[in-house]
Structure 1
Amino acid sequence: MNTGTSFAATLGRILMSSLFLMSGFGKLVDPVGTKAYIASRALPWPDGAFVVAVIIEIGFGTALALGYRTRIVALVMAVFTLATALTFHDNYADPKQLISFMKNIAIIGGFLQVMVLGAGSASLDAWLAARKQRVPARV
């Protein structure tokens, strides 16, 4: 992978993860409001949904930024993003909600690209793979 491609892959991962990191930390700042919003959508167990959302947005968002287990992280985040699009942006008659829904669909497309193409050479995945190749197997 050349330098430009590696830079683009790294920047893309960081930009995608920034949205989720900001959202996750925003949820931590206002857990009561977040849980009330989740409950307003008639989702069962708002406390559990809150915890799952924070884990995915902060934990998986950090893993994506670092390029750690990138393919599976991208798949989980794509599924999460689809679920949130269908749950929270389902009023397609409202232009703002339709735009938010379509933005989520576009983000899913980015995650699918990351899932297929991987993290790139500037990632923990690449570093761990190179380290594994250097270390001789123990007998």
Structure 2
Amino acid sequence: MPAAGRVMMSAIFLLSGVGKLAAPAATLAMIKAAGLPLPEVSYAAAAFVEVAGGLLLVAGYRTRIVALVLAAFSLATAVTFHTAFADQNQMIHFLKNVAMAGGLLQIAAFGAGSLSLDARRGRV
């Protein structure tokens, strides 16, 4: 079960990260519109966190640390891009990010499970 949960949680990060890599101009425009400093650095960091974090989560490698990083990323994304609560879609995205962070905190608390690189290394 933990492996299935890790794969399901990683899907959104992998798809979003690959989407950022496939459409950098659109992503940079969104980052600039949010007023984040150093948009190119923010773009590279976000794409890296999503792709690398998603892959590491699937593999179950350094899972607790990766889950904490992805939880923090999810909350940062929620408060940066999804606080226009008058727009129901944005409120749903905000709550989705908060829920993802909650699931990731569960992974951080309970570890990767037996089907993981962490288990092979004796670090479940």
- Shorter-normalised TM range: over 0.9
1:94 is displaced (CA, Å) by 1.0
The alignment status of 1:20 with 2:27, answered yes or no, reads no
The alignment status of 1:9 with 2:18, answered yes or no, reads no
Q: Name stretches of at least 5 consecutive residues in structure 1 with no aligned partner.
A: 1-7, 131-139
Detail structure 1 runs of 4+ shifted over 3 Å in the superposition: none
Deviations 1:100-124 (A, max 9, x none): 1001111011000000000000000
Q: Quick one: distance in 2 between partners of 1:60 and 1:100?
A: 20
Matching of residues 1-139 of structure 1 within 5 Å: 8-129=1-122
Please tell me the residue identity of whatever aligns with 1:92. Answer: F
Q: What is the count of residue pairs matched by the alignment? A: 123
1:32 is displaced (CA, Å) by 1.1
Identity %: 50
1:68 is displaced (CA, Å) by 0.3
Q: Quick one: distance in 2 between partners of 1:73 and 1:37?
A: 25
TM-score scaled by length of structure 2: 0.97
1:128 is displaced (CA, Å) by 1.3
Please tell me the residue identity of whatever aligns with 1:83. Answer: A
Please tell me the residue identity of whatever aligns with 2:62. Answer: R
Q: Quick one: distance in 2 between partners of 1:91 and 1:43?
A: 16
1:9 is displaced (CA, Å) by 0.4
1:93 is displaced (CA, Å) by 1.2
Please tell me the residue identity of whatever aligns with 1:23. Answer: S
- Rg larger in structure: 1
TM-score scaled by length of structure 1: 0.87
